[in-house]
């Protein structure tokens, strides 16, 4: 088969496109390159069925957990497992785009084994772990235990440290013994509720990675 410059460029483009498509979750069969005589248009590859990784997945919207920008992501879930993540084009913050960290958010959940297969990271913490004061051991606890314990300790600390007035006699109604840190994993509405909660309970030491 004689390869013209035009055929060579077309074949090279097909290989690059195929490689990119495979990286993006498609598995196209390589189109056959038909022999052509000089001067003729290259034969168009026959259509092939795309086998998309997300073909049978359910789409779940979420928020990128890395920073305070709060970009929207689409999580593609199949059989209870995330099979792909991409930017949410309907989210007004990022309109489908993701930065390099957001593009790698899939790898917070998966690591690659020695054969290159994505497997759920066994080190991912999925249960409540509690380390008692001065203990070196982590204990597994239930979510109910954790929420009750947080509420109990929060109330005890606030009651013990709440100040109605400062040293100058001005009304302050605050506690300086509790600090509150917001999360990039929360959306605007959740952070609005946190802010109201913090103000209502008298916490003055508060922050968020995006200074919300
Ligand atoms: S890390 Fe990147 S993708 Fe994630 S919220 Fe921040 S800017 Fe958006």
- DSSP assignment of 123-143, as one string? T---SEEE--TT----EEE-H
d(CA 204, CA 197): 11
Q: Which of 64, 72, 73, 212 to mutate to test the pocket of ligand 1 (most atoms within 8 A of CB)?
A: 64
Shared domain check, 34 and 71:
no
Residue 97 included in any domain? yes
Residue bearing the CA closest to ligand 1, atom 8: 71
Please work out whether the CB of residue 70 comes within 6 Å of at least one atom of ligand 1: yes
Name the β-bridge partners of 61: 74
Same domain, 38 and 107: no
Per-residue pLDDT tens, the chain, 212 aa: give them. 556 666 666 666 666 665 555 555 554 455 555 555 666 665 555 555 556 778 889 999 998 888 878 899 999 999 888 888 999 999 999 999 999 999 998 888 888 889 988 888 888 888 999 999 999 999 999 999 999 999 999 999 999 999 999 999 999 999 999 999 887 777 778 888 999 999 999 999 998 877 76
**pLDDT score, position 103:** 92
**Helix or strand (DSSP H, E) at 199:** helix 188-201
Q: Is 63 exposed, middle or buried (0-12, 13-18, 19+ CB in 10 A)?
A: buried
Q: Please count the other Cβ atoms lying within 10 Å of the Cβ belonging to residue 160.
A: 9
Count up the domains in the chain and report the number.
3
The CATH number of residue 101's host domain is 2.20.25.90
Q: 106 CA to middle of ligand 1, Å?
A: 13
Distance CA 99, CA 81 (A): 23
* 202 falls within a domain: yes
**Ligand 1 center to residue 16 CA distance, Å?**
28
Both structure tokens of 25: 């979750």
Residue 66 beta carbon below 6 angstroms from any ligand 1 atom: yes
- What size, in residues, is the chain? 212
Look up residue 169 and give its DSSP letter: S
Distance 41 CA to ligand 1 centre (A): 45
Shared domain for 66 and 41, answered yes or no, is no
Is residue 9 lining ligand 1, measured as CB closer than 6 Å?
A: no
Cβ–ligand 1 distance for 98 under 6 Å, the answer yes
Q: Is 120 in the pocket of ligand 1 (CB under 6 A)?
A: no
Range of the domain at 112: 58-120
Any domain includes 212: no
Whole-number pLDDT of residue 20: 53
pLDDT recorded at residue 43? 57
The rounded distance, in Å, linking the Cα atoms of 171 and 189 is 30
pLDDT score for 108: 83
What pLDDT score was predicted for residue 172? 96
Give the per-residue pLDDT at 38: 65
């Amino acid at each position: 088969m004689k390869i013209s410059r035009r055929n060579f460029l077309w074949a090279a483009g097909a290989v690059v496109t195929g490689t990119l498509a495979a990286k993006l979750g498609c598995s196209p069969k390589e189109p056959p390159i038909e022999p052509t005589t000089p001067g003729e248009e290259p034969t168009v590859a026959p259509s092939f069925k795309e086998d998309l990784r997300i073909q049978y997945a359910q789409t779940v919207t979420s928020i990128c957990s890395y920073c305070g920008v709060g970009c929207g992501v689409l999580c593609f879930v199949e059989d209870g497992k995330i099979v792909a993540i991409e930017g949410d084009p309907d989210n007004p913050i990022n309109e489908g785009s993701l930065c390099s960290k957001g593009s790698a958010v899939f790898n917070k959940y998966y690591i690659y084994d020695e054969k290159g297969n994505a497997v759920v990271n066994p080190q991912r913490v999925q249960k409540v772990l509690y380390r008692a004061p001065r203990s070196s051991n982590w204990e597994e606890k239930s979510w109910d235990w954790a929420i009750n314990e947080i509420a109990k300790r929060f109330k005890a600390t606030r009651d013990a440290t709440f100040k109605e007035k400062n040293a100058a006699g001005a009304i302050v109604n605050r506690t300086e013994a509790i600090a509150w840190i917001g999360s990039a994993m929360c959306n605007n509405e959740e952070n609005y509720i946190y802010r109201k909660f913090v103000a209502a309970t008298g916490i003055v030491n508060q922050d968020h990675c995006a200074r919300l």
